Amino acid sequence: MSKSPNLFIPAAGGTVLILGLAYGISSREYGAATIESLETRVEQVEANAAVASATAQEKAEEAARLQSEIEQLAMTAATGTNLTQPAPSIEGTYGLGRMAVEEEIAAWDVDVLPDGRGLPEGRGDVYTGEEVFVEKCASCHGDFAEGVGNWPVLAGGFDTLADKDPVKTVGSYWPHLSTAWDYINRSMPFGEAGTLTADETYAIVAYIMYSNDMVDDDFELSHENFTDVEMHNSDGFVVDDRPELEYAQWRAEPCMTNCKPTVEITMRATFLDVTPEGGGESVMNHASADESPVFSTSADASNEDVADGGANGVDPALIAAGEGAFRQCKTCHEVGEGASNRTGPALNGMVGRTIGTVDGFRYSGVFQEASAAGTVWTEESLAAFLADPRGMMAGTRMSFRGVRDEADIAALIAYIQSFDE
Amino acid sequence: MDEFFKPSRRSFLRGSAAIAAGSVAGAASAQEADPLITELQDWASYTGVGVDETPYGLPIRFESDVVRRNVEWLTASPISSINFTPIHALEGTITPQGCAFERHHSGAIELTKDDYRLMINGLVDKPLVFTYSDLERLPRENHVYFCECAANTGMEWAGAQLNGAQFTHGMIHNMEYTGVPLRTLLREAGLETAGDLSDKWVYVEGADASSNGRSIPMEKALDDVLVAFKANGEALRMEHGYPVRLVVPGWEGNLWVKWLRRIEVTDMAVGSREETSKYTDVYEDGTARKWTWVMDAKSVITSPSPQMPITHGAGPLVISGLAWSGHGQITRVDVSKDGGITWETARLGKQGDTKALTRFYLDTDWTGDPMLLQSRAMDETGYVQPTKNQLREVRGENAVYHNNCIQTWFVNEEGIAENVEVS
């Protein structure tokens, strides 16, 4: 609104000026005709002034409208929807940053491209490479680049790429040799990155090539023969083809009802027991692998044909069932050969032993009391404890709610009993 | 065999009866007066902590389980490893920096702003070096984006493995970044020398010992990539690349180079270790996909989930989850309680963020019967999050990265949830 007077004033001011001039002229002794014609002029001027005034009014209104639109947009911007702009891009530059000097670029720009650009001059043979590798690399990657523990395997794995667990090594998988040189030069050895000389890097790469049966033991790698090397899997890669193979199919209206007749659980994480502490806590531990629901389109889902778990009597099948059920105990307890105390005590020879007497385990008060009283674990007391640990041994630190299924309890006892002290 | 594993009509009725009984009891029974209300509590009587106690606060100690967790067997050393955001315990969409997952290839380093240098070289008109304070003088933008590791859910290819949304889907975080568009810096160095930009790349590299480097097509570099120095309003955390990291919206986390020290304009992809030997997807016949940068639409129910069981029994239940897409906005999320037979469209917490986490809710009335909970995201391209079997049909089971399958939680009658796979 504040803008409207600005627009209005020039138009009105002009009119006043013209009118003033007209009246000034009419006050002199001119002829009637002149006066008449002047009066006509005045009328014309007044008419023009009226038009100008109307136009000015229109402009003012338009300005007011625009102004209110701006105000509205500003409001919307304030409430978070629009008027946001990307950072401005200007015609020239901001002139920030300084020129990098050659020495700096040389120090940092050391990456090597697949066509060999970026390689420094140098050379190294397999023998030297083995020496350097054993000294600087083998503690993680093994003397023969076979990998130690979870550290990367660098050699072998040819013809495993289509297997269940492909072994992806420099030999079997990497499409460019430059990648090996570049990575070793910049990022290895782990914990001492950037300390290798160019010759050492050539030698290590030569040794890794040898470990992958790519070259003989008298081979020397250098900047001169580097690009002659052919990689086993250089043609093994395709550029992302999800747009054709996946997006084309999966950009479609999805099903909402009766999308399939039945649904069954085919795999459960609980039985893998690989979740670290802090994961879902002993979830579903009452369940056995057989106890999975079947969901179906009708509410009358039936899984009557699911096997009834557990036989009776101590037989191998029961012990085997117990081994399965014991997975829920494994997080805290060990049993069997070499079993030791973990969060809970080792369970070898448990039935028939006095409660709370496993060497080296710190028991809670209730177990210490039972131990002092000389109470012995029997099949019955163990069954009661497994069914309701806190009910039977109030104050136990064992954070486990108990085994619901009697068959599982019998199986567990049979399994635990199968291991002597 | 426990009866309650059968979601029969009988148990359905029993469940309803329980709700009815419960609500009546809740309303009518005159329970004993709650001493938390009737008795004077210490906190209502004694004074609390002063304003000079904690110059920079951490969550109250009762929330100490809401932390990043590591899966030890995954990697050889925690120095070159990953941990997981506790997404099961968070709400809304913004991930607090202190519990946002970390992925390092050679450990998190301490680099000061004063020691920070950013070089732009290669096919540019004038190679430049920027200091941290130079970056602060260039026009900056704010955007919320998710950062997801390409390996998120990677352990689940062969079958249900880890019991918790934190472990199955926690390689993700979502923050508001402040930074300078990469295109501004590239223009500062000048791209005349590069000529035709359509086949050019930028190679981005970190300052840490791993010198993690990735090649990014120039088109993306000039689009929405940010050179970021703030997240959620404060400086980046050390573990997220303090003082400067790259933000590559919608693309796999490995490209979001931390401690960014160099940007090189090149005429081909460098073929670095992380873009050849890693972050490539091996398929059933042994061939591999490369340059699979975009993270496709994905979602997961964060509660209930194995770490977030239902503890209140039947009745009103909020099913809460997260959805995201590297292709843009999430437009819809459907939730199924029966393993994908029927679906209901969920409510989106807030719409409109592109390449950012979207919160979804299904406000429901739990019968108390077992559920097979699933969520299915759709994005602005019309893409529908696939099932694990759909993915396997195309890719087999040998892939590690880019598993965006529909996740299933089995919730039993007690409200305990478990990671399962269904037919």
What pLDDT, in 10s, does the model give residues A228-250?
999 999 999 999 999 999 999 99
In a 10 Å sphere around its CB, with 0-12 CB exposed, 13-18 middle and 19+ buried, how is residue A308 labelled?
exposed
Q: Which residues of A touch B183 (CB under 8 A)?
A: 89
Would you say B82 and B171 are in contact if contact means Cβ atoms under 8 Å apart? yes
- Inspect the interface and report whether the beta carbons of A278 and B394 lie closer than 8 Å: no
- Inspect the interface and report whether the beta carbons of A179 and B271 lie closer than 8 Å: yes
User: Which residue type is seen at A225?
Assistant: N
* The Cα angle at residue A324 between residues A321 and A326, in degrees rounded to 5: 110
Supply B380's token pair: 């602005």
Nearest to B338 among A88, A237, A263 (CB): A263
The 10 Å Cβ neighbour count of residue A376 is 13
Chains A, B: CB pairs < 8 Å: 346
Percentage of chain A lying above the pLDDT 70 cut: 78
* Of B152, B156, B189, B186, residue with least CA distance to B171: B152
Locate the chain B residue with the closest alpha carbon to A307.
B1
> Looking at this predicted complex, what is its ipTM?
0.89
CA separation for the pair B79, B83 (Å, rounded)? 11
pLDDT at A307: 31
Is the N-terminal amide bond of B243 cis, ω within 30° of 0? yes
- Inspect the interface and report whether the beta carbons of B163 and A111 lie closer than 8 Å: no
Would you say B292 and B280 are in contact if contact means Cβ atoms under 8 Å apart? yes
Exposed e or buried b per residue across B201-216, where buried means at least 16 C-beta atoms within 10 angstroms of its C-beta: bbbbbbbbbbbbbbbb
Give the domain ranges of chain B: 94-158+173-288
Q: Which of residues 262-291 of A touch B (CB under 8 A)?
A: 262-270, 272, 274-281, 283-284, 286-287, 290-291
CA separation for the pair A274, A20 (Å, rounded)? 98
Residues in chain B: 423
Percentage of chain A lying above the pLDDT 90 cut: 37
- Inspect the interface and report whether the beta carbons of A186 and B261 lie closer than 8 Å: no
For A299, the 3-state DSSP assignment is coil
> Is A55 a residue whose pLDDT tops 90?
no
The lowest-confidence range among A116-120, A292-296, A349-353, B131-135 is A292-296
- Dihedral sign from CA coordinates of A387, A375, A328, A283: positive
* Of A216, A64, A219, A189, residue with least CA distance to A128: A219
Would you say A19 and A49 are in contact if contact means Cβ atoms under 8 Å apart? yes
pLDDT at A5: 39
Q: Which residues of B touch A111 (CB under 8 A)?
A: 203, 205, 213, 264, 270, 272
pLDDT at A417: 87
For A315, the 3-state DSSP assignment is coil
* Of A163, A160, A144, residue with least CA distance to A213: A144
Summarize pLDDT for A256-275 with one digit per residue, the tens: 999 999 999 998 887 666 77
Q: Which residues of B touch A301 (CB under 8 A)?
A: 6-8
Q: Are strands A237-239 and B288-290 parallel, antiparallel or unpaired?
A: parallel
Q: Place domain B94-158+173-288 in its CATH homologous superfamily.
A: Oxidoreductase, molybdopterin-binding domain (3.90.420.10)
- Inspect the interface and report whether the beta carbons of B334 and A260 lie closer than 8 Å: no
Averaged pLDDT for residues A343-367: 86
> Helix A406-417 to helix A379-387 angle, to the nearest 10 degrees?
130
For B308, the 3-state DSSP assignment is strand
- Inspect the interface and report whether the beta carbons of A97 and B167 lie closer than 8 Å: no
For A206, the 3-state DSSP assignment is helix
**How far out from the chain centre does Cα B85 lie?**
7
Would you say B122 and B265 are in contact if contact means Cβ atoms under 8 Å apart? yes
* Of A268, A401, A276, A270, residue with least CA distance to B86: A276
Nearest to B134 among A96, A149, A272 (CB): A96
Nearest to A104 among B119, B268, B334 (CB): B119
The answer to whether A243 contacts chain B (CB < 8 Å) is no
Q: Which residue has the tokens 């970021």?
A: B228
Nearest to A275 among B162, B294, B370 (CB): B162
> Is A302 a residue whose pLDDT tops 80?
no
CA separation for the pair A112, A205 (Å, rounded)? 14
Would you say A203 and A196 are in contact if contact means Cβ atoms under 8 Å apart? no
CA separation for the pair A170, A155 (Å, rounded)? 6
For B238, the 3-state DSSP assignment is helix
> Is A33 a residue whose pLDDT tops 70?
no
> Is A149 a residue whose pLDDT tops 90?
no
Q: Which residues of A touch B13 (CB under 8 A)?
A: none
- The continuous run of DSSP H or E covering B302 comes out as strand B298-303
The 10 Å Cβ neighbour count of residue B103 is 20
User: Which segments within A86-229 are labelled E, that is strand?
Assistant: 98-99, 123-125, 220-222
Phi and psi at B321, nearest 5°, equal -155, 180
* Of B139, B140, B209, residue with least CA distance to B176: B140
Nearest to A270 among B1, B394, B418 (CB): B418
CA separation for the pair A347, A415 (Å, rounded)? 10
Q: Are strands B260-266 and B117-122 parallel, antiparallel or unpaired?
A: parallel
**Contacts for B50 with CB less than 8 Å, ≥ 6 apart:** none
Q: Which of residues 43-72 of B touch A (CB under 8 A)?
A: 65, 67, 69-72
Mutate to test the interface with B, among A233, A242, A286, A288 (most CBs of B within 10 A): A242
- Inspect the interface and report whether the beta carbons of A187 and B80 lie closer than 8 Å: no
Hey, which residues does A220 pair with through a beta bridge?
A125
Give the distance from residue A48's alpha carbon to the nearest chain B alpha carbon, in angstroms: 51
- Inspect the interface and report whether the beta carbons of A283 and B339 lie closer than 8 Å: no
Nearest to B376 among A254, A257, A405 (CB): A254
- Inspect the interface and report whether the beta carbons of B69 and A276 lie closer than 8 Å: yes
* The Cα angle at residue B157 between residues B156 and B159, in degrees rounded to 5: 65
Q: Which residue has the tokens 């050969």?
A: A337
Q: Which of residues 236-295 of B touch A (CB under 8 A)?
A: 261-262, 264, 266, 268-273, 276-277, 280, 282, 284-294
Locate the chain A residue with the closest alpha carbon to B4.
A293
- Inspect the interface and report whether the beta carbons of B270 and A186 lie closer than 8 Å: no
- Bin B92: left if φ > 0, else alpha if -120 < ψ < 50, else beta: left
pLDDT at B273: 95
pLDDT at B19: 44
Locate the chain B residue with the closest alpha carbon to A248.
B383
Summarize pLDDT for A98-116 with one digit per residue, the tens: 999 999 999 999 999 999 9
**How far out from the chain centre does Cα B294 lie?**
14
- Average pLDDT for chain A: 80
Q: Which residues of B touch A165 (CB under 8 A)?
A: 398
Highest mean pLDDT among A30-39, A355-364, B284-293: B284-293
- Inspect the interface and report whether the beta carbons of B262 and A242 lie closer than 8 Å: no
Give the distance from residue B50's alpha carbon to the nearest chain A alpha carbon, in angstroms: 33
* Of A324, A336, A331, residue with least CA distance to A271: A324
Residues in chain A: 421
CA separation for the pair B300, B297 (Å, rounded)? 11
Q: Which residue has the tokens 């993306």?
A: B220
| DSSP states along B372-411 | EEEEEEEETT--BPPPHHHHHHHH-S---S---PPPEEEE
Supply B222's token pair: 């000039």
* Each residue's pLDDT expressed in tens, for chain B with a length of 423 residues: 333 333 343 344 344 444 444 444 445 556 899 999 999 999 999 999 999 999 999 999 999 999 999 988 888 888 889 999 999 999 999 999 999 999 999 999 999 999 999 999 999 999 999 999 999 999 999 999 999 999 999 999 888 989 999 999 999 999 999 999 999 999 999 999 999 999 999 999 999 999 889 999 999 999 999 999 999 999 999 999 999 999 999 999 999 999 999 999 999 999 999 999 999 999 989 999 999 999 999 999 999 999 999 999 999 999 999 999 999 999 999 999 999 999 999 999 987 789 999 999 999 999 999 999 999 999 999 999 999 999 999 998 888 899 999 999 999 999 999 999 999
Averaged pLDDT for residues A150-161: 91
The answer to whether A92 contacts chain B (CB < 8 Å) is no
Supply A127's token pair: 């023998």
Q: Which of residues 133-192 of B touch A (CB under 8 A)?
A: 134, 137-141, 159-164, 166-167, 180-181, 183-185, 187-190
CA separation for the pair B348, B350 (Å, rounded)? 5
> Is A12 a residue whose pLDDT tops 80?
no
